[in-house]
Amino acid sequence: MLIKTVQRVARDAVAGFTVNPSRRISQHNKGSKYGGAKRTNNKGPWEMAMIVCGFPNEISALRFEWAWQNPLQSRRLSALPKRKPRESLLAYHLRLLDKMLSSPPWIRLPLSIHCLNVDIIGNLEELLLCKPNHMKVLQGPPSMASEISQSEDLLDCGLCDDELLGVKLVKCYNNECTFTGHVTCLATRILSGSDQILPISGPCPSCRVTLLWGRLMKPFQSSNTLSVPVK
């Protein structure tokens, strides 16, 4: 989400989709001739204030964007009260976001909400009261560092004992735990006894620490080949 601030107050807010935030914010500030949107043309400067990420693919992200931009046309949001006369666009967008995160189909997605400007937006944990517990709120620039370590001395799946070399694997992010396994094996274990097809969270088979599926899947979000077992 982009915001335009005047004297440290958000005067405008725009929701949009991008796979390259740095490039996109530059386009918006240069104008429509350089790829910026008509909505933001010659109305800057704009800054990237918040990022919602973790969508399984671009289609899912674009559908989220459309609903956020067109709440009155979205059947998921049409019942939500309209923007109040004195409600800022930023407050309205945050109210919409809170409703979207707690509504299907988005409620089960492993989304993360990155607040890049805490001074202007405020504490998202207090603003997004309906947000599911498995969705994370982060402050500051999003880290591009991978949270998975593929150690060469851990070559067998901790669940099926088959070789891990050359396949997609996940590792418990508890630094004191050595569990490593196939993505599909862990998904099957977490989903055991459930009628869902997409895990949200579950205990590590080794140390029992609660693992967030979205955090485990971050290294694979650019891949189109990742799948979970259909029960």
Q: Identify the CATH number of the domain in which residue 181 sits.
A: 3.30.40.10
- Phi then psi for residue 202, to 5 deg, are -175, 165
152 secondary structure, DSSP code: T
47 vs 186, which has greater pLDDT?
186
Question: Residue 224: which pLDDT band, with cuts at 50, 70 and 90?
Answer: very low
Q: Return the percentage of the chain with pLDDT > 70, whole number.
A: 82
Q: Extract the tokens encoding 90.
A: 């930023």
pLDDT value of position 8 = 56
- Secondary structure element (H or E) that encloses residue 6, with its range: strand 2-6
3-state class (DSSP) for residue 59: helix
Supply the pTM of this predicted model: 0.59
Mean pLDDT rounded to a whole number for the chain = 78
pLDDT value of position 194 = 82
Handedness of CA 72, 92, 131, 147 (dihedral sign): positive
- Assess contact for 160 and 184: CB atoms under 8 A: no
Q: Is 176 left (phi over 0), alpha (psi -120 to 50) or beta?
A: alpha
On whether both 157 and 124 belong to a single domain, the answer is: no
Question: Residue 145: which pLDDT band, with cuts at 50, 70 and 90?
Answer: very low
Evaluate if residue 134 carries a pLDDT over 50: yes
pLDDT value of position 166 = 55
On whether both 128 and 190 belong to a single domain, the answer is: no
The total of structural domains in the chain comes to: 2
On whether both 25 and 94 belong to a single domain, the answer is: yes
How open is the CA angle 90-93-97, to the nearest 5 degrees?
A: 135
On whether both 118 and 8 belong to a single domain, the answer is: yes
On whether both 168 and 135 belong to a single domain, the answer is: no
Last residue of a domain, one of 139, 159, 191: 139
On whether both 113 and 159 belong to a single domain, the answer is: no
Last residue of a domain, one of 109, 139, 169: 139
Q: What is the mean pLDDT of residues 154-180?
A: 74
Q: How far apart are the first and last CA of the chain?
A: 37
On whether both 13 and 117 belong to a single domain, the answer is: yes
On whether both 54 and 116 belong to a single domain, the answer is: yes
On whether both 68 and 91 belong to a single domain, the answer is: yes
Evaluate if residue 23 carries a pLDDT over 50: yes
pLDDT value of position 229 = 43
pLDDT value of position 188 = 92
104 is in which domain, residue-wise?
2-139
Q: Nearest Cα to 146, choosing from 119, 164, 173?
A: 173
pLDDT value of position 7 = 53
Last residue of a domain, one of 139, 172, 200: 139
Evaluate if residue 193 carries a pLDDT over 90: no
- Assess contact for 111 and 45: CB atoms under 8 A: no
On whether both 30 and 97 belong to a single domain, the answer is: yes
pLDDT value of position 148 = 28
On whether both 102 and 156 belong to a single domain, the answer is: no
Alpha helices (H) in the chain, listed in sequence order? 21-30, 58-69, 89-101, 118-121, 124-127, 183-190, 213-217
Min mean pLDDT across 35-44, 133-142, 188-197 is at: 35-44
On whether both 88 and 130 belong to a single domain, the answer is: yes
pLDDT value of position 201 = 92
- Pair type for strands 47-48 and 2-6: antiparallel
